[in-house]
Structure formats: structure tokens, C-alpha cells
């Protein structure tokens, strides 16, 4: 009998932390449109014809996915479908051909990006099947390998105008390894400076399956960026535990610039259980926050590319 992997819909709200003036002179509306945009793209090649049955000891249920292992170091103009959701306060863009990811989000009165919008599509071998590109918000379900198999693939999508005046771009597809189905309703209210991602993961088979679901959102790295993640310790990738936000060396690692030591950083911040976290750019007095019920979305993590050459080299690769 079909079962839901989780009985509730996960509600995530991305909120722009800026003051705005309520527009009262006319009825506020939300708009949605689809266009073809030219984006500088560093493409990837044909797939490896040899089937892949597993990636590593963490994931055996990988077939029938295959791996792309050829990448270009020369950019070229390429056309992409772009869905734009817009109201009087913010603009959100979605890429149906790149995993249905949110491409970026802008607060209109300042022009500031509160979700990093990468103006270049530079695919590199980081995803579970190879190609992955930075920026926006990507949707991940299933295999616990950091980035889902459809990260760089076209997914199903539909545009909607809802009864309450909000607009939606619903993206989704099937995880072929588990035969589960996923949907994300990216919804913009007509009169709010935030947008929502309502995620549902459905198991139509009689078989039990592991439940893993996570959204990966991107901020632009800058020296004035500070992470506001409630908690008093963090767990690293290997399972090691350390104090947060002041580490053993006395560094305030909630400040981006204070992470200029060692390799890449992975902070699973714990010890407090609010419904929110966020980031703030002190120089521009601008930031954004994430809200979701803790019992539906308990995890929160910060990943920082190394501020040493081991991280900066990705800008050149």
C-alpha cells in the first residue's frame, strides 16, 4: 500500500530581513512568467556508458543512474528556461532544467540578493552523478551523498496562480533508485517579502525506504557576513564535537572571515531548538532568514568552502 515517507508537508519560508513600506494605493499582485534566457555556461559531456551500481559504502541503491565525467573549461552562451516569480517586494527565479533549483532571490528596493544568484552556469564534478553548479537553493531527497541525482537534470514543473493570489512553480520528479516521488511547491505570496518551499516526498511502493530530505541554499561569501545559527556546539562531518560560536582557539567562527584556517568547514550547529536561523551582512545592513517548524525540519548546517587555496581553486577550475 502506498505510504508517505513523512505524514506532514515540510514548510520552509525564506524571509528577507529588510524594512519595506506597505503599498496601499493599489491591489498588490504576484506574477509568474517563463522566459528563455542566455547564460554563460561551462557544459559537461556525454555520460559514461558503463553502468554504476554503487558510489561508495554509504550508497548501494544507485542503479540505473549513470555518471557524467567530462567537463569543459571554456564557457559558451547557452539558452535556459527561467521561471520568474515576482511581487512588489522580491523576485525569485527557478531553473526547471537544473534540478528545479531556485536560481536566486532579490529584494527589489535595494537590489540585494538574499539567495545567491550565480550569473554563470559552471558545472563541475561535485554532485553524485558529477555535474553540479553553485548558487540558489537545490532540492535533495533520497541518497545521502550531498547532492541528488537530478541536481543538473531537467525535472517536471508546472506554473500556477493560486486562489489566494500567490503564484507557484511546482517542480518534482522520481528518484529512480528508490522509485519514490518528490515535489517542491516554490510559492510567492502576493504581498509578502518572503517565499515558501513546500516539500513532499511520497513512496508509492509497498516497500519501506530511508527518509532523507534537505534543501541546500547559497549565500555569497563576504568578510562582513555573520551566521546566526542558535546553539552552543557543532558536530563536524566525522562526528567530532566542538563549541559554537566561539571555538577552542577563541575565534568567533560565526563570522565568515574568522574561518580563514584549515580546509573546508562543516558545522552542524546544535544545542538550541528554535524555528529559525539566518545570515547578516553588516556592511550593507542586509540579511535573510529561514523559518520552519523545528519538529518538521530539525537539522541545520553551515558549509564554507576553504578560504585557503584549496577552496579558491574552484573559481578557476
Tens of pLDDT, residue by residue over 154-173, are 999 999 999 999 999 999 99
Cis (ω within 30 of 0) for the bond into 243?
no
Q: How does residue 146 score in pLDDT terms, banded at 50, 70 and 90?
A: low
| pLDDT, position 52 | 75
How would you class 52 by CB atoms within 10 Å of its CB: exposed for 0-12, middle for 13-18, buried for 19 or more?
middle
Q: Which residues contact 142 (CB under 8 A, 6 or more apart)?
A: 148, 149, 175, 177, 178, 180, 182, 210, 212
Identify the weakest region by mean pLDDT among 162-171, 174-183, 248-257.
174-183
Has this prediction a pTM greater than 0.75? yes
534537505: which residue's cell? 214
Q: Which one has a higher pLDDT value, 298 or 142?
A: 298
Cis (ω within 30 of 0) for the bond into 245?
yes
pLDDT digits (tens, 9 = 90+) for 14-57: 555 544 444 444 578 999 999 999 999 999 988 888 877 766 65
Q: What is the mean pLDDT of residues 123-132?
A: 86
555569497: which residue's cell? 220
Cross-strand partners of 243 = 233
| pLDDT, position 224 | 98
Distance of CA 176 to the CA centre of its chain: 21
Identify the weakest region by mean pLDDT among 86-100, 178-192, 202-216.
202-216
Query: Which of 101, 45, 95, 103 lies closest to 73, judged by CA?
Result: 45
Question: How many Å apart are CA 245 and CA 230, to the nearest integer?
Answer: 9
Domain extent listing, the chain: 1-218, 222-317
Query: Which of 162, 171, 130 lies closest to 147, judged by CA?
Result: 130
pLDDT digits (tens, 9 = 90+) for 227-243: 999 999 999 988 999 99
| Rg of the chain taking only CA atoms, in angstroms | 20
Strands 167-175 and 180-188 come out as antiparallel
Q: Return the C-alpha cell found at 205.
A: 511502493
| Under 8 Å between Cβ of 41 and 78 | yes
Strands 31-42 and 120-122 come out as parallel
Q: Which one has a higher pLDDT value, 115 or 314?
A: 115
546553539: which residue's cell? 231
pLDDT digits (tens, 9 = 90+) for 194-226: 999 999 999 999 988 777 788 999 999 999 999
Which of the residue ranges 106-110, 131-135, 305-309 has the most confident prediction, judged by mean pLDDT?
106-110
Amino acid at each position: 500500500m502506498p505510504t508517505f515517507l513523512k505524514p506532514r508537508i515540510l514548510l520552509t519560508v525564506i524571509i528577507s530581513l529588510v524594512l519595506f513600506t506597505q503599498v496601499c494605493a493599489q491591489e498588490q499582485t504576484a506574477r509568474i512568467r517563463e522566459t528563455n534566457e542566455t547564460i554563460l555556461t561551462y557544459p559537461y559531456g556525454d555520460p559514461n556508458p558503463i553502468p554504476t551500481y554503487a558510489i561508495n559504502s554509504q550508497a548501494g541503491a544507485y542503479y540505473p543512474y549513470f555518471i557524467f565525467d567530462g567537463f569543459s573549461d571554456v564557457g559558451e552562451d547557452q539558452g535556459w528556461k527561467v521561471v520568474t516569480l515576482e511581487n512588489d517586494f522580491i523576485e525569485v527565479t527557478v531553473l526547471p532544467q537544473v534540478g528545479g533549483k531556485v536560481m536566486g532571490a532579490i529584494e527589489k528596493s535595494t537590489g540585494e540578493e538574499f539567495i545567491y544568484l550565480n550569473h554563470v552556469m559552471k558545472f563541475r564534478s561535485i554532485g553524485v552523478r558529477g555535474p553540479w553548479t553553485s548558487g540558489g537553493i537545490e532540492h535533495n531527497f533520497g541518497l545521502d551523498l550531498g547532492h541528488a541525482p537530478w541536481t543538473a537534470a531537467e525535472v517536471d514543473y508546472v506554473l500556477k496562480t493560486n486562489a489566494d493570489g500567490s503564484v507557484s512553480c511546482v517542480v518534482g520528479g522520481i528518484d529512480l533508485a528508490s522509485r519514490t516521488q518528490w515535489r517542491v511547491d516554490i510559492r510567492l505570496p502576493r504581498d509578502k517579502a518572503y517565499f515558501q518551499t513546500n516539500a513532499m516526498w511520497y513512496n508509492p511502493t509497498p516497500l519501506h525506504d530511508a527518509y532523507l530530505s534537505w534543501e541546500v541554499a547559497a549565500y555569497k561569501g563576504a568578510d562582513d557576513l555573520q551566521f546566526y545559527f542558535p546553539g552552543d556546539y557543532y558536530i563536524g562531518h566525522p562526528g567530532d564535537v566542538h563549541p559554537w560560536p566561539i571555538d577552542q582557539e577563541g575565534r568567533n567562527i560565526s563570522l565568515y572571515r574568522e574561518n580563514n584556517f584549515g580546509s573546508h568547514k562543516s558545522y552542524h550547529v546544535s544545542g538550541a531548538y528554535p524555528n529559525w536561523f539566518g545570515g547578516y551582512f553588516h556592511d550593507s545592513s542586509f540579511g535573510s532568514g529561514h523559518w520552519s517548524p523545528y519538529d518538521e525540519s530539525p537539522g541545520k548546517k553551515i558549509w564554507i568552502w576553504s578560504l585557503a587555496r584549496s577552496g579558491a581553486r574552484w573559481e578557476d577550475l
